[in-house]
Amino acid sequence: MGNYSPFLFLLALSLAAAAAVSAHNITEILAANPDYSSYNSFLSQTKLADEINSRQTITVLVIPNSAFSAITASHPLPVVKNVLSLLILLDYFDNTKLHQLTDGTTLSTTLFQTTGTATGNVGSVNITDLKGGKVAFGSAAPGSKLASTYTKSVKQIPYNISVLEISAPIIAPGVLSAPPPSSSVNLTALIEKAGCKTFASLVLSNGLIKTFQSAADKGLTIFAPSDEAFKARGVPDLSKLTNAEVVSLLQYHAVAKYLPVGSLKTTKDPISTLATNGAGKFEYTVSVAGDSVTLHTGVDSSRVADTVLDSTPLSIYSVDSVLLPPELFAKSPSPAPAPEPASAPSPAPASGPSPASAPSPLPASPPAPAGETPDGAPADAPSTAAERSTSGKSAGVTVKASVILTVTVTALSAFVISSVLMS
């Protein structure tokens, strides 16, 4: 392991670089004005700040404390989140653009539209340039009033983020009705329905469902492996693990924090899990390539496939692979007679771009992200195939995983070094 530590350091660095996709920081932008302190605080509490920071083209319609308090005083956090989501436009509008709308009116999609709760036009906002230079905002749902008006421009980073102040929240039909509390959601039923029956039954039979259910209204994220994931080659035979190990493995798939997609994408530090304890870290890191999020345990990687539920403070995802913690699977279960160190120096063919492109001082950017998520594209990633086939042999898993890690790391360190040289 000692041999790999500089590489692991670089790996951590590269993953941090990959995760740090944000070009702007909404919290910092709004902190400059105390009138927006409440709005700003709720953007953080609902994790919408992460969502904003992880997007490249966005307009934030901000409301001063005086106009926002009516919402925050009388509604629970999920409702406040809905209201805020409707104020985050997935397009770039500045003062000039507001006054140059074709036909003086347009609809813009908002973050609320992406939550899955929105039907029809409920997740869109109508922007209308009224006579006399006044610009009004309202829900795009039929029959809604244009009850909010543009008051001033706050900040622009063209064409990434624009912050505009408006006079009042934009209320769409249904936005103010509170969803059922997370603690009343039937987690088993939800996870089963998402195609993760094996995981659901393991969680039930090992008594973990109670832990999950009681954490659901305090902050909980579950990464449920799909049923296919449990059938994949290389997944350890659970019947050969002790009860305690199975419980740790299951706990490893949950985090005592609310992590919606935007937060996953902006996470830089390793994520601790419910399995984390004094004896073991049981962590993983996150890498991002475009819209694809991948978790890396150090033994294997898993793509985050689908959002099953995002309801503050509970998020549930399905993932493509069972996450294997190094604390349980880094050591070979039966001491391998010959740990095949000889295979280490010849990993070159396993990863296409790495050794050849490594010395190049001016790498084109596309190869690097591909290397960052070796498991992201099952169809064409040679390292994935290599990993799958080798991990079938349980005794060889550790060694082969290290080899693959080295290959990945070589590519990543080349990427890091060349990024440093380029900047």
Please report whether residue 422 would count as binding ligand NAG according to CB under 6 A: no
Burial status of residue 359 (CB atoms within 10 A of its CB: 0-12, 13-18, 19 or more): exposed
CA dist 273 and 41 (Å) reads 26
* Residue 285 vs 391, nearer CB to ligand NAG: 285
Smallest distance, ligand NAG to C-beta of residue 237, A: 26
Rounded Cα gap, residues 279 and 10, in angstroms: 25
Mention every residue, 6+ apart, whose C-beta is less than 8 A from residue 2. Answer: none
* Residue whose CB is less far from ligand NAG, 189 or 421: 189
CB 44 within 8 A of CB 145: no
Q: Verify binding: residue 189, ligand NAG, rule CB under 6 A.
A: yes
Q: Is 32 in the site for ligand NAG (CB under 6 A)?
A: no
What are the φ/ψ torsions at residue 158 (nearest 5 degrees)? -65, 140
- DSSP string for residues in 29-73: HHHT-GGGHHHHHHHHHTTHHHHHHT-SSEEEEE--HHHHHHHHH
Residue with tokens 């070094």: 417
Residues 250, 208: Cα–Cα separation, whole Å? 8
* Interface with ligand NAG (CB under 6 A), residue from 109, 117, 188, 332: 188
Residue 126 in the binding site for ligand NAG (CB under 6 A) = yes
Residue 266 binds ligand NAG (CB under 6 A): yes
Q: Interacting stretch for ligand NAG, rule CB under 6 A, among 184-192, 282-290, 297-305, 357-365? A: 184-192
Residue 160 as a binder of ligand NAG (CB under 6 A): the answer is yes
Stretch that binds ligand NAG, among 21-29, 242-250, 255-263, 336-344 (CB under 6 A): 21-29
Token digits of residue 366: 């596309």
Min. distance of Cβ 178 from ligand NAG in angstroms? 20
Amino acid identity, position 179: P
Give long-range contacts, CB 8 A cutoff, 24+ apart: 80-83: 80/42, 80/46, 81/42, 81/46, 81/48, 81/312, 82/112, 82/115, 82/117, 82/175, 82/176, 83/169, 83/171, 83/175, 83/176
Among 8, 16, 25, 307, binds ligand NAG (CB under 6 A): 25
* Local structure of 116: helix, strand or coil: coil
In the complex with ligand NAG, the residue whose CB is nearer, 67 or 127, is 127
Q: Which of the ranges 19-27, 108-116, 232-240, 278-286 carries the binding residues for ligand NAG, by CB under 6 A? A: 19-27
Nearest distance from C-beta of residue 26 to ligand NAG, angstroms: 8
What is the Cα–Cα distance from 369 to 365, expressed in whole angstroms? 7
106 binds ligand NAG (CB under 6 A): yes
Q: Examine residue 269 and tell whether it contacts ligand NAG (CB under 6 A).
A: no
- Binding of ligand NAG at residue 45 (CB under 6 A)? no
User: In angstroms, what is the minimal distance from the CB of 171 to ligand NAG?
Assistant: 15
Residues lying near ligand NAG in the complex (CB under 6 A) are found at 22-23, 25, 27-28, 31, 53, 56, 105-107, 126, 128, 146, 157, 160, 186, 188-189, 192, 266
